[in-house]
Amino acid sequence: MAKRPHPTPQPLIVVRADTRDVTLHTGAAEAEERRRPDFFALRDALQGRIIDENDVQASRWGRLVRAVAGTYVALAVVAFGQRRSATAFVTGSENEAIVLAFLLKLARTRIPLVLPAIYPAKPAKWPAWRWARVHRYMSRVLALGTVQADRLVNGLGVPRDKVEVLPYGIDTRYWSPQRATPHAATRPYVFAAGLQHRDYWTLIEATEGLGVDLVVAASSLWSKSRNELADAPLPSWVQVRSLRYGELRDAYAGAAVVACPLVETDFPAGTTSIVEAMAMGRPVVLTRAEGTGDYVVDRRRALRRGPLRSTSAGHATRFAAESHQEQTGFLVAPGDAEALRSILQWVLTHPEDAEAVGARARAVAEEVYSLEAYVGRIVAAVQEAMAEAAGRRVPATAEPVPGVSGPAAADVRPVHLAGAARADRGEG
């Protein structure tokens, strides 16, 4: 009986999704231009292979583990089972990364593991960092927010040289006002999208009597959060919809302003929605919770209510050109319907100024939040980790990453936390 050939050694990208369902992730069902998902771009740039829910389903052990412990654990187990063909691991979230690192620790096997993470310092994960010390089997933790990066280092004991700050990225070629057909509306509308940690009742209160409609796309491929507006009695000016990617792009394009109302949280909730809106050139209003201060530049120095917080954006300070340090949106304190209403009213009565804010947001999105920049920074971290594992010296200046193009491709080395603290205090 012939032996099965061993898989070619290559980086393995672990994703909690059915990535073979291309229609779901690209919007191709509407026969439109395909949106480029980050995991496909990362696979191509690394010349790697994706491990996803299909691999779990194809594995007897994977199916058993999923039935007992859930999909994240099953993904980690399946990925661990393929470690002999892995030159590196990149995970889609901290959930499977922590389990995978723990398995590598038990096996005393060191394989470069890079983790882009939105909420790595969630309290439920503290034992993994503090007691299991899984970071010893991770090469890099790329936190999407400064607060989470700081908490890993100063609260949970993760070595500073393993923690990077990583701005999230989207396909800014797809999310472009030039490619949209704005919704025809009888009167201006405020648009909001997403489910996780949203505070839509404050937004509803803020829009009452403004003479606008409020359109909410309360759906998500990834979030497990409940739609708080489902089956609730809503005012006449509020519409709740579920939109496909192309429809979502058109809804952004026609909005007078895009709002992302959030409850208090210490991680960058709402990131996808706010960055998509910025890429669409819309003025945006974001709740300045503890963990959300990195993405929008608001040059009003302090919030009117709530905890004393700067309103400057950390990512723009660290990654954008000096010419892109001006206002790109507005920040309000959690639950402050009065302040939110005031900003919405200003946007509606100052359309030219609001459009200028949106244009600057688009420029920052292209420079800082593009798919090329996001994938490039992850690839640079993987290459750096692989070089360290092989005992090679890491070059001081990164070369352009294969498979990644665009203005940010030649400058993709991640920024260490040492350069992060100043931005969240509002310096610069």
Question: For the chain, which domains are there?
Answer: 1-169+370-428 (3.40.50), 177-368 (3.40.50.2000)
Which structure tokens are listed for 341? 């209403």
H or E, element range at 217 = strand 213-217
- Dist CA 59 CA 271 (whole Å): 34
Which residue's entry shows tokens 């389990």? 99
For residue 19, the model assigns a pLDDT of: 82
- Dist CA 15 CA 426 (whole Å): 35
Q: How far is CA 21 from the centre of its chain?
A: 21
- Dist CA 46 CA 72 (whole Å): 23
293: exposed, middle or buried (Cβ count in 10 Å: 0-12, 13-18, 19+): buried
Sign of CA dihedral 256, 261, 266, 271: negative
For residue 282, the model assigns a pLDDT of: 97
Contact between 172 and 238 under an 8 Å Cβ cutoff? The reply is no
- Residue 398: partners with Cβ closer than 8 Å, 6 or more residues away: 380, 383, 410, 411, 412, 413
For residue 165, the model assigns a pLDDT of: 94
What are the φ and ψ backbone dihedral angles of 162, each rounded to 5 degrees?
A: -100, -5
For residue 28, the model assigns a pLDDT of: 59
Around Cβ 300, how many Cβ atoms within 10 Å? 12
For residue 21, the model assigns a pLDDT of: 76
217: exposed, middle or buried (Cβ count in 10 Å: 0-12, 13-18, 19+): buried
pLDDT tens-digit profile of 366-424?
Answer: 999 999 999 999 999 999 999 998 886 555 444 444 444 444 443 444 444 533 333 33
Q: What three-state secondary structure class fits 219?
A: coil
What type of residue is 163?
V
Distances (CA, A) of 120 to 158, 172, 268, 296: 11, 26, 11, 22
Strands of 161-200 (E only): list them: 163-165, 189-193
State which residues of the chain have pLDDT below 70: 1-6, 22-33, 219-231, 301-302, 304, 311-313, 392-428
Q: Which of 370, 274, 278 is nearest to 38 (CA)?
A: 370
